[in-house]
Structure 1
Amino acid sequence: MAYRIVKEDCIGCGACETVCPVSCISEVADEKREINESECIDCGACASTCPVSCIFQV
């Protein structure tokens, strides 16, 4: 399992990228973030940090 960011709801704050222990979150278009699901270790740090709750486990 991994986590996914709903890009339409992402505000581009970067909080998730900052807390990711394996650096699998990167900036894409319009300052939105994207999670590399193959590198995600399923820790949930990003989801618990997101101020707009746009990160979900898949």
Structure 2
Amino acid sequence: MDFGVGLMILGGFLLGGAWSIWRADHDTEGRTGPQVLFAVILLVAALLATASGILRLV
């Protein structure tokens, strides 16, 4: 398996984790600050890993 493909797969997992955290909200309070922060961090990491994987394949 090429390293670029591995980075794209890692980006997909991170994107799924960000989506899972974003969907998990509290019944009465909604999303908490740490949930939003962690989801944004995972989203940025997913985008960076995917972009790096695409650039490695080119």
TM surpasses 0.5: no
Q: Quick check: which one's strand share is greater?
A: 1
Q: Quick check: which one's helix share is greater?
A: 2
Bigger radius of gyration: 2
